[in-house]
Chain A
Amino acid sequence: KAGVTQTPRYLIKTRGQQVTLSCSPISGHRSVSWYQQTPGQGLQFLFEYFSETQRNKGNFPGRFSGRQFSNSRSEMNVSTLELGDSALYLCASSLGDFSGNTIYFGEGSWLTVV
């Protein structure tokens, strides 16, 4: 079956701009979460969505936001980009309930802020 799909794979933005990243979860998965990966901080949890509702949020500023659509696809947005936002942004999907707990990651979106 198809895995978690993230677009775009690579992008370069200028400080102050905003960016939107997209994630299509595995078919049937209703939970989507987002992580930021940097060499210094490793993988850090951003937020999780389930059935279009944000269930949990990490310790990131309000510039980081997300949403989930009725087909479970998700987007995350970063406004007023800073140099420190340069990172690999990873999307993960799972069934999201007690029946299954395997969490699969996509290949990520590489964001460079200049």
Chain B
Amino acid sequence: EDQVTQSPEALRLQEGESSSLNCSYTVSGLRGLFWYRQDPGKGPEFLFTLYSAGEEKEKERLKATLTKKESFLHITAPKPEDSATYLCAVQAEMNTGFQKLVFGTGTRLLVSP
């Protein structure tokens, strides 16, 4: 069964204090690994899709990396506006259907000024 585990559950950082969020996964053939940001009361906001081990993508202060077993979301010099829940999801290779994402439970990030 496809499974995603995110750690830590919650993370509190000071503004400017860099850190990494972890996403470990087991999936029967990875089609893609997704990172989303979710603010309270809102839908997930797309950040990145990674497809193969060794791939890296960056967006502002965020950088996502992928290995065969896990993905990391590195946050460099975070600001208070980066506070949110970060969700990781995997999409398995399937005969039919492309949108079945299996999500982790997320990491709640709080960045204090």
Which residues from chain A sit less than 8 Å from chain B, CB to CB? 4, 6, 31-33, 35, 42-45, 48, 50, 55-56, 58, 90, 92, 94, 96-97, 101-108
B45, B46, B100: the one contacting A58 at CB < 8 Å is B100
* A107→B42 contact, CB < 8 A: yes
Known: A4-B43, A106-B43. 11 other contacts (CB 8 A): A31-B99, A33-B100, A35-B101, A42-B106, A48-B99, A48-B100, A50-B97, A56-B94, A92-B101, A96-B98, A101-B49
* A48→B105 contact, CB < 8 A: no
Query: Contacts A43-B87, A103-B34 hold; do A96 and B99 have CB atoms under 8 A apart?
Result: yes
* B42→A55 contact, CB < 8 A: no
For the complex, what is the distance from the CA of A101 to the CA of B46, rounded to whole Å? Answer: 11
A59 to chain B, nearest CB (A): 11
For the complex, what is the distance from the CA of A33 to the CA of B97, rounded to whole Å? Answer: 10
* B43→A33 contact, CB < 8 A: no
For the complex, what is the distance from the CA of A48 to the CA of B104, rounded to whole Å? Answer: 19
- Residue in B closest to A55 when the chains form the complex, CB atoms: B97
B34, B99, B106: the one contacting A56 at CB < 8 Å is B99
For the complex, what is the distance from the CA of A48 to the CA of B87, rounded to whole Å? Answer: 20
* A97→B49 contact, CB < 8 A: no
For the complex, what is the distance from the CA of A93 to the CA of B101, rounded to whole Å? Answer: 12
- Residue in A closest to B99 when the chains form the complex, CB atoms: A33
